[in-house]
Amino acid sequence: MNAFLIATALVALAEMGDKTQLLAFLLAARFRKPLPIIAGIFTATVLNHAFAGAVGMWITQMVGPEIMRWILGLSFIAMAVWILIPDELDEEEEQKEHRFGVFGATTIAFFLAEMGDKTQIATVALGARYAADLVWVVAGTTLGMMLANVPAVYLGNHFAKRLPIRLIHAVCAAIFAVIGVFVLVGKTGVI
Whether pLDDT at 168 is above 80 = no
Task: Give the closest residue to 119 by CA, choosing from 32, 18, 5.
Answer: 18
Q: Which of 130, 125, 119 is nearest to 1 (CA)?
A: 130
Q: Of the candidates 112, 148, 114, 142, which has an alpha carbon nearest to the alpha carbon of residue 127?
A: 142
Q: Does pLDDT of 173 surpass 70? A: yes
- Read off the pLDDT band of 77 (50, 70, 90): confident
Q: What is the pLDDT of residues 82-129, one digit of tens each?
A: 767 765 554 444 444 446 788 998 898 888 888 877 888 888 889 888
pLDDT at 49: 92
Does this model's pTM top 0.75?
no
Q: Output 92 or 6, whichever has higher pLDDT.
A: 6
Q: Which amino acid does the sequence have at 87?
A: D
135-139's contacts with Cβ under 8 Å and 24+ in sequence apart are 136/1, 136/3, 136/4, 136/7, 137/3, 137/4, 137/7, 137/49, 137/53, 137/56, 138/7, 138/46, 138/49, 138/50, 138/53, 139/4, 139/7
What pLDDT sits at residue 132?
Answer: 85
Could you give the dihedral angle defined by the CA atoms of residues 32, 36, 37 and 40, in that order, rounded to the nearest 10 degrees?
-160
Average pLDDT, the chain: 80
Which 3 state secondary structure label does DSSP give 152? helix
